[in-house]
Amino acid sequence: MGIKTKEEYIESIASLNPTVYMFGEKVTNVVDNPRLRAGIEATGATYEIAHMDEYKDLAVTQSPLINEPVNRFTLPPGSIEDLVARVKLNRALGNYVGTCHQRCTGLDCLSTLSIVTYNIDQKYGTNYYNNFIEFLKYMQKNDLVGNAGVTDVKGDRSKGPSDQEDKDMYLRVVEKRDDGIVVRGAKVHQTGSLSSHEIIVLPTRAMRKGDEDYAIAFAIPSDSPGLIHVVGRSSLDKRELEGCDIGNVRYSKYCPTLIFNDVFVPWERVFMCGEVEFAAEMVVRFSAFHRQSHGGCKSGKIDVMIGTALTLMEYNGTSKAGHLKQKVIDMIHRAETLYGCCLAASYEGKRQPSGAYYIDTVLANASKIHEGRELPESIRLMVDICGGFVADLPSDKDLENPDIGPLLKKYLKAVPDVPVENRVRMYRLAEKLAMESADTISDIHGGGSPEAHRITILRETDLEKKKKAAQRLAGIDG
Ligand SMILES: Cc1cc2nc3c(=O)[nH]c(=O)nc-3n(C[C@H](O)[C@H](O)[C@H](O)COP(=O)(O)OP(=O)(O)OC[C@H]3O[C@@H](n4cnc5c(N)ncnc54)[C@H](O)[C@@H]3O)c2cc1C
């Protein structure tokens, strides 16, 4: 099959038949719905750049598994170079789409499974690694997108999966059959689930004895019977449906709630089933990969915010203002520090028993903490530079209104040689970059809440080594 073009990708998504609800109504044509299409276009960019001279060396690589060139988003890292390329590709894409391209989570799942299924098999003599490898070949040969079905609804947070009053608060096996399992539950905040061909499910937390039915990993097509995508609201979403005041005129992001209403999974697509002690390894490795992916693409998004700020400085006549230049510098160093931390996590990566490569967990989690704090700060700096129209620019419909439009165009103009329409477009983009809740809130909760990053850092850091270094300098031996 080889590397798909963007058009082939969109055709392949159009050929699926998922069950979808949005704003109280059933959606039968996903690719022609403007809200969903803007998200599908963002994922489509991962196909588009694989055919562009500027990016193809980064986006296309050789798969040792199928001996063919593949899109990098289907290749679990097999070297330090692969780990580094992940970050560079995510930054390039974050810059290209200015929002979430929605394809990193699938790769993060594949990367996790390429390590953990092997480890489970080593302990239990199971066949999960083989199942995974067959699935991976299918993903690579057909150049497919995977969605990460990790976050359960979780019910009462003070209780574990099997202690919940309603036993479906974490996705679980409700029936085991000769040919497979039947699962029930719901996964939430499912970024790009309708832009994906496959839903890859991993456990959301560590599990203990008694949680066996919840310790599951598998992959199923995104249009499987019983699977229901309920598209979540996001700020500015109605504008995409109306086709007016959109901001980012090419791309967007949406995150459905995904209900598994007794869904069948064949055994050959099961990658873990009951091995409770490996749930923690699954989620820790996935989270580390995903937190690092975030840093790559979000440094690319800051690049877009910097471009927006600089353009509006030109349009507003403030390019020479020293304090605004300082603020641009403050944005640049935040993007570069985030990028540097993600790159470091790759360079410090290590080979795992399966042969796949894994990043440095502490650096990956440090990068996500940095992102959670510094993305909002970068937005604040961009808004400061751009001015108040990020908040309340009149609608394009008013600008086009014959009564009020000419007056608005007169009063919304700044520097004489910049068309007022361009200034309006840049403000709309700034608004989208600052206010698109589906993207900006992922800076904080995407890949796990900040406390999860901190706990991982504490657990994975060699604290004894640090104590010994201090004690040696103080002359305390032993
Ligand atoms: C825009 C966006 C996109 C996302 N995309 C995906 C995706 O594609 N796939 C996916 O699987 N997930 C996705 N996520 C989900 C994300 O991983 C979760 O939002 C995150 O793990 C937090 O879970 P939660 O939202 O249920 O919040 P909660 O778990 O309820 O956390 C809320 C707060 O309570 C604290 N807390 C919760 N439980 C406890 C406890 N027992 N003890 C102490 N403190 C506690 C947390 O630390 C946090 O501060 C996405 C999230 C967002 C916002």
The rounded distance, in Å, linking the Cα atoms of 288 and 286 is 6
User: Is 282-462 in the same CATH topology as 6-276?
Assistant: no
For residue 153, how far is its CA from the centre of ligand 1 (angstroms)?
A: 9
- Cβ–ligand 1 distance for 106 under 6 Å, the answer no
Q: Find out whether the beta carbon of 126 lies less than 6 Å from any atom of ligand 1.
A: no
Hey, where are the domains in the chain? 6-276, 282-462
Residue nearest to atom 48 of ligand 1 (CA): 449
Which atom of ligand 1 is nearest to 452's Cα? 47
pLDDT tens-digit series, residues 276-320: 999 999 999 999 999 999 999 999 999 999 999 999 999 999 999
Å from CA of 346 to ligand 1 middle: 25
> Whose Cα sits closest to atom 21 in ligand 1?
448
Closest C-alpha residue for ligand 1 atom 36: 157
- What's the CATH number for 6-276? 2.40.110.10
Ligand 1 atom, smallest distance to 149 CA: 11
**Atom in ligand 1 nearest the alpha carbon of residue 187:** 11
Atom 32 of ligand 1, nearest CA residue? 449
Look at ligand 1, atom 13, and give the residue with the nearest C-alpha.
189
CA of 445 to the centre of ligand 1 (A): 5
Tokens 């935040």 — which residue?
Answer: 334
CA of 446 from ligand 1 middle (Å) equals: 7
Give pLDDT tens digits along the chain (478 positions).
679 999 999 999 999 999 999 999 999 999 999 999 999 999 999 999 999 999 999 999 999 999 999 999 999 999 999 999 999 999 999 999 999 999 999 999 999 999 999 999 999 999 999 999 999 999 999 999 999 999 999 999 999 999 999 999 999 999 999 999 999 999 999 999 999 999 999 999 999 999 999 999 999 999 999 999 999 999 999 999 999 999 999 999 999 999 999 999 999 999 999 999 999 999 999 999 999 999 999 999 999 999 999 999 999 999 999 999 999 999 999 999 999 999 999 999 999 999 999 999 999 999 999 999 999 999 999 999 999 999 999 999 999 999 999 999 999 999 999 999 999 999 999 999 999 998 999 989 999 999 999 999 999 999 999 999 999 999 998 6
Is the CB of residue 464 below 6 angstroms from any atom belonging to ligand 1? no
Q: Is the CB of 133 under 6 A from ligand 1?
A: no
Put simply, whether the predicted model's pTM sits higher than 0.95 gets the answer yes
Q: Which CATH number fits domain 282-462: 2.40.160.20, 1.10.645.10, 1.20.140.10, 3.40.50.1970?
A: 1.20.140.10
Q: How far is the CA of 448 from the centre of ligand 1 (A)?
A: 5
Residue nearest atom 34 of ligand 1, based on CA coordinates: 449
Write down the pLDDT at residue 416: 97
pLDDT digit string (tens) for 42-51? 999 999 999 9
